[in-house]
Amino acid sequence: MIDKIKENWEKILLILREEYGDQITDISYKTWLEPLKPYSFKGNTITIIVPEQPFISYVKKKYSTFLKVTISEFLGKECEVDFKAKEQVEAEEQPAAPSLIPKAKAPVSPDVIQNANLNPKYTFDTFVVGSNNNLAHAAALAVAESPGEIYNPLFIYGGVGLGKTHLMHAIAHFILKDNPKSKILYVSSETFTNELIDAIRNKNNITTTEFREKYRNNDVLLIDDIQFIIGKESTQEEFFHTFNTLYESKKQIIISSDKPPKEIETLEERLRSRFEWGLTVDIQSPDYETRMAILRKKEEMEGYNIDNEVIKYIATNIKSNIRELEGALTKIVALSRLNKCDITLELAEEALKDIISPNAQREVTPELIIQVVSDHFGITPADVMSQKRTKDIVYPRQIIMYLCRDMTEASLQVIGLSLGKRDHTTVIHGAEKIAADLQKDETLRNTIDILKKKINPQ
């Protein structure tokens, strides 16, 4: 009997899809159903293999009835379904790796996206799934499909610039698409801290009651880079209560960090245990294929047209950090525009020589600072290098000037050049302005502190 099921498995899934298509989106089908494989048939129970252990309960909850009915009808006799993880059965048959490429859906209004603090570009559609992040991606999708129901909190951890923020935003976009009225708030732990500082001092007329309402009155709260509140006692305390309020009313909490909860040494025990109530997933550094795919995706999104040799060169040489990978591409394109020349392998070698020389792997460069600060403020390096003079661009630009002077040996001329051919007096002015503000502005001090840790995690 199992052979018959195996032979006809695709057909069975297609029948299921046809029958329940109105309840199963394309992305759900690809993520949860396509990777399933029949394993055995004993008594009247068919056992189905789920590739990843943590998702058995989810697949069971959402799809066991559909599978049971479809298979029973197909076989012409009543049967039960059961699920096992791939590693559990150690089957001779290797199920195919899950294919998790989501499909685009209809857009949500830009206002809604802005109110939730989301980067419009960070969706599931633009997230490349590879062996380094497929578990985190699947977990993110499960939470997006059933917020507050199954994995709460979802804790995503991984090294710098590997896509944690992107994945968090993707969850939020997905939920908003399903239900534009959902109350969703994404903040960095820095913003949480800064707003708490302001509320305690009653700055900008925000009271602590308003602060609490803002954070506790959400269906989904996403807090990025939680490691930055560690050691800040009043912030931890406040976050603990926010967490409890949301959790008790079954609201979804999503947290990211550079380490798993058990390795965050100074994390209070009561917070640590709460973080571990849900599901913890990690993102690793991308392998070569994933790096290539990310560069191709970026090229497609930005409308660049770059020779395969150049893409391969970047993917071969920049390995650990996706932000650096993107930064390298941006730098090459900027250099070719500045010099009005084609993008060739020689140009790429020249542009990246500082970044990829064996000793310079961890060196802090103006390009790295530009990339980190731009990401942090939700703008692009091109904005920073442009002539735009709006406050939302000028301020990060000045912060970059300050950090370049503080953290690199680069000359004023080089800093100016990296910032879109700016004069050295502009750089001095920008850096001094931030240095002066730092004397009186505690929230700016917190921001600079965090940016420095992001730029140079050691």
Nearest in space to 371 (alpha carbons), one of 264, 451, 251, 300: 451
Query: Is residue 294 a contact residue for ligand ATP (CB under 6 A)?
Result: yes
Instruction: Give all strands (DSSP E) within 219-332, no chain letters.
Output: 220-224, 252-257, 279-283
Cis bond before residue 153 (omega within 30° of 0): yes
Q: Which is nearer to ligand ATP, 49 or 294 (CB)?
A: 294
Among 171, 356, 375, 381, binds ligand ATP (CB under 6 A): 375
Distance CA 346, CA 108 (A): 42
**CA–CA separation, 199 and 204 (whole Å):** 8
How many whole angstroms separate alpha carbon 107 and alpha carbon 134? Answer: 25
Nearer Cβ to ligand ATP (83/122): 122
Which of residues 86, 164, 173, 251 is near ligand ATP by CB under 6 A?
164
Tokens 């692009």 correspond to 380
CB of 206 to ligand ATP, least distance (A): 25
Are β-strands 45-50 and 37-42 bridged in parallel, bridged antiparallel, or unpaired? antiparallel
Count of residues that bind ligand ATP according to CB under 6 A: 22
Cβ 86 to ligand ATP, closest distance in Å? 23
DSSP type of residue 437: H
Our CB check for ligand ATP shows the closer of 136 and 415 to be: 136
219 lies in the site for ligand ATP, by CB under 6 A: no
Residue 297, both tokens: 């995706």
430 is in an annotated binding site: no
Q: CB-based contacts of 21: which residues, under 8 Å, 6+ apart?
A: none
Q: Does 227 bind ligand ATP (CB under 6 A)?
A: no
∠ CA(298), CA(455), CA(299), 5° rounding? 5
CB nearer to ligand ATP: give 331 or 422.
Answer: 331
CB contact set of 453 (below 8 Å; sequence gap of 6+) = 228
> Which residue's CB comes closest to ligand ATP?
163
Q: Report the nearest approach of ligand ATP to the CB of residue 309 (Å).
A: 22
Residues 55-74 binding ligand ATP (CB under 6 A) are none
Interface with ligand ATP includes 171 (CB under 6 A)? no
Contact mark string toward ligand ATP, 119..158, x via CB under 6 A: ---x---xxx----x------------------------x
Q: What 3-state class would DSSP assign to 99?
A: coil
Residue 20 is encoded by which pair of tokens? 């329940």
By CB under 6 A, tell whether 454 contacts ligand ATP.
yes
What is the distance between the alpha carbons of residues 147 and 441, in angstroms, rounded to a whole number?
37
Q: Is 238 in the site for ligand ATP (CB under 6 A)?
A: no
Q: Which stretch binds ligand ATP (CB under 6 A): 63-71, 159-167, 263-271, 381-389?
A: 159-167
CB 121 → ligand ATP: shortest distance, Å? Answer: 7
**DSSP letter assigned to residue 50:** E
Residue positions forming the annotated binding site for ATP: 161, 163-165
Residue positions forming the annotated binding site: 161, 163-165
Residues engaged in binding ligand ATP (CB under 6 A): 122, 126-128, 133, 158, 160-166, 225, 258, 294, 297, 322-323, 326, 375, 454
